[in-house]
Amino acid sequence: MNILILSAGTRNKVVQYFKENIGEGKIIATDCSNLAPAVYDADAFYLVPRITAPGYIERILEICAREKADGVFSLIDPELSLLAKEKERFLAVGTTPLVSPYELVETCFDKYRMFQLLTEMKIPTGRCYVDREAFYQDKQAGKISYPVFVKPVKGSASININKAASDAEVDLLFDLYEDLMIQEFMDGQEYGADVYIDMLSGRCTSIFLKKKIKMRAGETDKSVSVKKPAVFEMIQKFVEKCGFCGMIDIDLFEINGTFYISEVNPRFGGGYPHAYACGVNLPEAVIRNLSGQENPVSIGAYRENVCMMKYNEIAVRDFSGEEIVE
């Protein structure tokens, strides 16, 4: 069993977790920079072009064939659509992309489309607007009030997300940036869920829920494990009905006892190490699926009140005689 991890970047823990579970197989990593520390935790590393470069997908397919990769997944958002769109080409070389269906991935990255989907499914979520005038009309009618978030319809890593408290600020942001939307400010407690949907049965087999205590640069810095049966049920029905596949990360807010889904990321979330430390072993679930075995349902199978506290580490490597690719 060999698994290829694309755009490994700084996600050392994910690479390490797969190495701990792969047995006699190999973990191969790629990145467009040889200053990506996570690649040096893998058994093999390939320096590749940026995902937008001509011939990128052909290069990845070549690596899959050479390394006899059974599965492949990416740790960055922009690459997920590419993997999903080219699924048949990967299967043709014997490699299974660990990603949800293409249209579903695209919906996750279009925050307004996700808002529409959640609304259609009658799942609580914050109001969203791509039309400023519609927002101003609802504000006038008392359906929404300041502050609000103004953010890209398609974006990641909290880039160009701004909190606005007046019409003038909203107008200024819409003049500065393109393809923006207005999102209701969710003034409540934030939670995160690490979820796995079995690639063979389509069932949701694992959910880990954490209460976020502190955020940094859009990622969970400190959190505590919790269990909420009603939230487990909501998430299970949502992901199974939509047809998600493999690992996904869901952001939620609790406001006056109601849980609202805010965002859905069809990949490992930055806070997944908390789940793994609590015994929620998604690499094992992936490997079992790639071996042709279904996973048992074990939703909520972890201890509560276990805290995660991230801290900084460094990697040092001698590049003498080697070109540094930033």
Q: Is the pLDDT of residue 86 over 90?
A: yes
What backbone torsions phi and psi does residue 119 show, to the nearest 5 degrees?
Answer: -65, -45
Which pTM does this prediction carry?
Answer: 0.94
Domains and CATH numbers, the chain: 2-99 (3.40.50.20), 127-184 (3.30.1490.20), 187-309 (3.30.470.20)
Interval 269-320: pLDDT, tens: 999 999 999 999 999 999 999 999 999 999 999 999 999 999 988 999 999 9
Closest CA to 95 of 72, 74, 77: 72
Report pLDDT digits (tens) over 20-57.
999 999 999 999 999 999 999 999 999 999 999 999 99
pLDDT tens per residue, range 201-215: 999 999 999 999 998
